[in-house]
């Protein structure tokens, strides 16, 4: 501390002494500059935000629900077109195997079967040799249809050659039973018979309750949006009458009962959905979820007054060959809009 104090004193003693500056001579005052006027930009009018109708947010409740194997597949006669469908499905599958072996970025099957296929493809890579899979023969051994008639599964015995494009090595052949799933427009390879274990590699994969809950949120939100509108927006059309099911026709009649001159806006808020049960197949995934929906119906009348009313719905959400969709609604206990005719053969189609 003494050293620091001495240093400060030394610096102070050596510092120059300040002397007063001479007084400045008087000068004539300088006039202040005249400000130059600047142009002011005119304000740009801001357009009000455009109203937009969105799907309501749907909160799916985590309550447990039963999964029941209600639907049964029926073994049916093999139709002439089934072989062509199976052939196209297997050829698509083989093209996917080629791509995975070459690039490692696409595998057309999943589950235990997919893992076994991926390991075999990696082991079959031959440096410097371009190989491709060729379908040499195919015979459909059995087909299965859903209760409403849609093709569900086809089992095909195939012989596949692993061919060297330049002929530098001999072909490798394998014969086995493939299972394809889909509909009457498209089949895809989904499984293979494991001769050593005496069962299908993948078999029946059980439904994941969490996945089912997640999957119903979008169709429920869309379903409620189709009967919603906002002030100033033109009505949206969701029904043209072409190929309509009994339920869709009944719902169109329900839409026609709305009086938009009286109700200027109609939306849903605080939407919750609870799965009561899921009816499925013993042999494959898919089926029907029965869902209870609760929401607040928010309406605005011609005078601008807004009201909220609690509403409850009970609907059926179908999981088929397309995205899950609402296919029926209970009007009164035990009475459904479809009249009992869900026309699933028209809906259970891959629309891609």
| pLDDT tens digits for range 145-192 | 999 999 999 999 999 999 999 888 888 999 999 999 999 999 999 999
pLDDT value at position 16? 34
**pLDDT beyond 60 at 8:** no
pLDDT value at position 298? 98
Domains detected in the chain? 58-71+206-347 (3.10.450), 74-200 (3.10.450)
| pLDDT tens digits for range 46-101 | 555 567 899 999 999 999 999 999 999 999 999 989 999 999 999 999 999 999 99
Give me the residue label for tokens 């033109």. 234
User: Average pLDDT of the chain?
Assistant: 86
What is the average pLDDT across 222-231? 94
Residues constituting the chain: 352
pLDDT value at position 128? 82
| pLDDT tens digits for range 67-79 | 999 999 999 999 9
Distance (Å, rounded) from C-alpha 45 to C-alpha 324?
45
Q: Which contacts (CB < 8 Å, 24+ apart) does range 52-56 have?
A: 52/230, 53/225, 53/228, 53/229, 53/230, 53/233, 53/236, 53/267, 54/225, 55/218, 55/221, 55/222, 55/224, 55/225, 56/221, 56/224, 56/225, 56/228, 56/267, 56/268, 56/269, 56/271, 56/295
For residue 64, what is the enclosing H or E element? none
| C-alpha torsion sign, points 209, 212, 214, 217 | negative
CA distances from 65 to 212, 291, 314 (A): 11, 10, 15
CA dihedral in degrees (106, 109, 111, 117; nearest 10)?
A: -80
For residue 61, what is the enclosing H or E element? none
| pLDDT tens digits for range 239-289 | 666 668 999 999 999 999 999 999 999 999 999 999 999 999 999 999 999
Q: What does the buried/exposed string (b/e) look like for 291-328 if buried means 16 or more CB atoms within 10 Å of the residue's CB?
A: bbbebebbebeeeeeeeeeeeebebbbbbbbeebebbb
Percent of the chain with pLDDT over 90: 73
């Amino acid at each position: 501390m003494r050293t620091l104090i001495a240093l400060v004193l030394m610096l102070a003693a050596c510092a120059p002494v300040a002397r007063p500056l001479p007084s400045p001579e008087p000068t004539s005052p300088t006039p202040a500059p005249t400000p130059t006027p600047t142009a002011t930009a005119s304000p740009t009018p801001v357009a009000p935000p455009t109203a937009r109708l969105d799907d309501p947010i749907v909160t799916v409740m985590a309550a447990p629900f039963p999964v029941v194997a209600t639907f049964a597949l029926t073994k049916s006669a093999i139709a002439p077109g089934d072989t062509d469908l199976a052939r196209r499905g297997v050829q698509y599958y083989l093209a996917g195997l080629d791509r995975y072996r070459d690039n490692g970025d696409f595998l057309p099957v999943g589950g235990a079967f997919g893992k076994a296929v991926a390991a075999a493809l990696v082991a079959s890579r031959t440096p410097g040799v371009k190989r491709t899979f060729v379908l040499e023969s195919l015979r459909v051994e059995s087909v299965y249809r859903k209760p409403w008639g849609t093709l569900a599964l086809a089992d095909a015995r195939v012989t596949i050659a692993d061919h060297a494009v330049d002929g530098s090595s001999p072909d490798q052949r394998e014969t086995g039973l493939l299972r394809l799933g889909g509909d009457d427009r498209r089949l895809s390879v989904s499984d293979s018979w494991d001769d050593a274990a005496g069962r299908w590699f993948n078999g029946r994969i059980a439904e994941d309750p969490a996945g089912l809950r997640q999957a119903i949120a979008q169709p429920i939100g869309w379903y409620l949006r189709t009967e919603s509108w906002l002030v100033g927006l033109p009505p949206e059309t969701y029904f043209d009458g072409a190929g309509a099911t009994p339920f869709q026709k009944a719902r169109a009649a329900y839409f026609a009962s709305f009086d938009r001159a009286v109700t200027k806006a109609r939306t849903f808020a605080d939407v919750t959905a609870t799965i009561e049960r899921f009816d499925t197949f013993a042999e494959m995934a898919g089926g029907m979820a029965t869902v209870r929906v609760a929401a607040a119906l928010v309406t605005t009348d011609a005078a601008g007054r807004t009201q909220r009313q609690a509403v409850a719905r009970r609907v059926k959400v179908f999981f088929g060959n397309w995205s899950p969709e609402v296919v029926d609604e209970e009007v009164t206990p035990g009475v459904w809009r479809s009249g009992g005719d869900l026309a699933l053969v028209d809906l259970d189609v891959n629309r891609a």
